[in-house]
Structure 1
Amino acid sequence: MPYFEGHDGTQLFSTDWGRGEPVVFVSGAWLGSSAWEFQMLPLSERGLRCIAFDKRGHGRSDWVGHGYDYDTLADDLAALLDHLNLRGVTLVAHSMGGGEVIRYLSRHGYDRVARVALVSATAPLMARTADNPDGIDAKLFEAVTPERTADRPRWMAQNAQAFFATHLGNRVSSELVAWTVQKCLDCSAKAALEVVRTGFATDLREEAAALRVPTLIVHGAADASAPVELCGRRLAALVPDNVYKEYPLAGHGICISHAEQVNQDLLEFIGDGPA
């Protein structure tokens, strides 16, 4: 069955393709499991079991009005791994999904997980604080909220090109851009608001520094949503056992615009690619 129960009974939708070593994909804010098709199809054809799910408030999962903090989202991820009784898992997370994975490991341990890949992660801390002076001012972050919530379709359409950094020559068709915008709109207004606040404000520095599994960190140097100096490079400096890959021209939508390169890096990291 495609549905499983979150820790509080929330009905969550999942997709499960292929057989072999399990790879679980964790989406970022606004996007659901279907946005991973550019990874799930080719990797499942390479002999991996590829699993993705719609986080609460997204896609075909229940559009509940609560539970958009990292503790709850990590517990939902734990419910999926328990439901399928997965072991030796590679967790692949995009954007704020990286925070879900980091919190899952600090909260639930390493028994089921072999390695993690953090792609364009909005971690370890984006908000400016006294000991994170290079972060983004919370007032600037919240200033965007009224415009985004008043007309989500317009705001997302206007920011889609920056998501892919097409101004740097990244080739993403207009149809694919429109498809991605529609995927981003397939979540509740409540979820759309709350998950970005969680991803922005949560301090994951200590948890990232305590990770005890091999970690692949992939980030675009032109990422406007999770600036590389604040996120990718900071994670690479914190996580003990990591391989860091920085794509010079990639934006935040790296799993689509640079799908072939991301997939090859994932295969090599998991051990199915060339030596």
Structure 2
Amino acid sequence: MPYVTVGTENSAPIDLYYEDHGSGQPVVLIHGFPLSSAAWEKQVPALLMAGYRTIAYDRRGFGQSAQPTSGYDYDTFASDLNMLINELDLSDVVLIGHSMGTGEVTRYLGTYGSDRISRAVLVSTIPPYLLKTSDNPEGVDKALFDGFQQAIVADRYAYQTSFLNDFFNYDQTRGKQVSEEAYRANWNVAVSASPIGTYECVSSWLTDFRADVARIDVPTLIIHGDADRVLPYPLTAPRLNAMLPDSELVTLPGAPHAIPWTHADEVNNAIMQFIGARTPAMSRKK
């Protein structure tokens, strides 16, 4: 199995697991919390069939990657992504992130620029900024996130059940878009993640991405369900779309947070239309 080493902790390497399939223009897929690259099961075959080289990796602390006790912040996550892109010597990359993965895409572009990147797709986006502050009154009170962390400490397994219920809008999708077997499989992935990483990632959700957004200079597609209970639609996708003049927003009516699974056809069609129509390179911001 392929790994890229992104650091060390004491005597152990911090290795990220990745899968690299197909040929053609590279697409890098970055999964959401609390899952792994396996969450892209319905996107990888579609991308391969369309002629794209498809690379999906597990964030540190999740899936088959190492589980260090530090580095659960977006500067480190973006650095990990940068190391993967450099290790594989990728160019003309399409970056696609879901949920937490949209933070990696945004911080990467804000920090490392777009020399190797041609397009970005943000699915169920966390940017621009979730936390309620004096200059971000549309945000969410920090007490909510403190409660999440308290629940993780008290009973991480029960927390993941509660989280996945909202992730899938399971009361509405159970037995329809989401089988009990699929729910259990996702729960198993979720609880296999690093307990420390699970806890620490909640703090990363409060990252202010507004400065990163201002530096994005590639065409960007935003896909979001308007019934998202994890990253509420009014606080995220429309605000981000307004901040990015060269972005396109696709809203999925009645759709939950887990749209790569529950609304795979709609998500795949939107992605294919966006990345399939090649356009001249945009002028880079100075």
TM-score (norm 2): 0.90
Gaps of 5+ in 1: none
SS of the residue corresponding to residue 42 of structure 2 reads helix
SS of the residue corresponding to residue 229 of structure 1 reads helix
Instruction: Kindly indicate whether residue 176 of structure 2 is the aligned counterpart of residue 198 of structure 1.
Output: no
Instruction: Kindly indicate whether residue 215 of structure 2 is the aligned counterpart of residue 183 of structure 1.
Output: no
Asked whether the 8 Å contact 1:116–1:216 carries over to 2, the reply is yes
Asked whether the 8 Å contact 2:164–2:170 carries over to 1, the reply is no
Residue of structure 1 equivalent to 2:29? 25
Query: What CA deviation, in whole Å up to 9, does each residue of 1:207-260 have, x standing for no partner?
Result: 113310000000110111111111111111111211100111111111110111
SS of the residue corresponding to residue 244 of structure 1 reads strand
Distance 2:277 2:246 in 1: 19
| Percent identity (aligned) | 40
Residue of structure 1 equivalent to 2:283? none
| 1:142 Cα offset (Å) | 0.5
- Residue number among 84, 87, 90 corresponding to 1:86 in the alignment: 90
Distance 2:32 2:163 in 1: 16
Distance 2:147 2:188 in 1: 24
- Mapping 1:53-202, distance limit 5 Å: 53-169=57-173, 171-199=177-205, 201-202=206-207
- Mapping 1:233-248, distance limit 5 Å: 233-248=238-253
SS of the residue corresponding to residue 41 of structure 2 reads helix
Query: What CA deviation, in whole Å up to 9, does each residue of 1:126-175 have, x standing for no partner?
Result: 11100111211111220232223322222222342321124445621111
Asked whether the 8 Å contact 2:27–2:52 carries over to 1, the reply is yes
Amino acid of the residue matched to residue 218 of structure 1? I
How many residue pairs match? The answer is 272
Query: What CA deviation, in whole Å up to 9, does each residue of 1:163-199 have, x standing for no partner?
Result: 1124445621111111111122221011111112102
Distance 1:144 1:23 in 2: 32
SS of the residue corresponding to residue 233 of structure 2 reads coil
Asked whether the 8 Å contact 1:210–1:239 carries over to 2, the reply is no
Query: Cα distance 1:35–1:25, how it changes in 2: closer, same or farther (>3 A)?
Result: same
Asked whether the 8 Å contact 1:78–1:104 carries over to 2, the reply is yes
- Mapping 1:251-270, distance limit 5 Å: 251-270=256-275
Q: Which segment drifts farther, 64-73 or 134-143?
A: 134-143
- Superposition RMSD on alpha carbons, in Å? 1.7
Distance 2:20 2:109 in 1: 22
Distance 2:207 2:89 in 1: 29
Distance 1:64 1:11 in 2: 10
Residue of structure 1 equivalent to 2:284? none
Q: Which segment drifts farther, 55-64 or 155-164?
A: 155-164
Asked whether the 8 Å contact 1:210–1:240 carries over to 2, the reply is no
Asked whether the 8 Å contact 1:3–1:14 carries over to 2, the reply is yes
